[in-house]
Amino acid sequence: MKAPNSGNIYVNPDFLANNTPAIIGSAIGHELVHVDHYLRGLLDRSDIDSVNGSERAAYHWQRATAHLFGLGARFKEKMSAKIDEYQ
């Protein structure tokens, strides 16, 4: 979904409808990692290495904080696989 105004954040309604509040909360945190990187000048969307590095960090964050959302080992395994995907 393309945002018509870059000042807005849009969330896929199917994602919201098909996931638990814990998964949604973790995903929002993931996106906030990207916001932090962008604001600190660490994310350049035109540089694949920069994007991949931000993705790895965001998935690391999700794995490290899974317990705070009540998400267990299976979720952590999925996040580890996502980290590997962006190597």
76: in domain: yes
- Whether residue 5 is predicted with pLDDT greater than 70 in this model: the reply is no
57: in domain: yes
Number of domains making up the chain: 1
4: in domain: no
Count, residues in the chain: 87
- Concatenate the DSSP letters of all residues of 60-84 into one string: HHHHHHGGGGT--HHHHHHHHHHHH
- Whether residue 7 is predicted with pLDDT greater than 80 in this model: the reply is no
11: in domain: no
Domain of residue 67: give its range: 21-85
Question: In sequence order, which residues have a C-beta less than 8 Å from that of residue 69 and are 6 or more positions away?
Answer: 22, 23, 25, 26
59: in domain: yes
pLDDT digits (tens, 9 = 90+) for 38-82: 999 999 989 999 999 999 999 999 999 999 999 999 999 999 999
Band (pLDDT 50/70/90 cuts) for residue 10 is confident
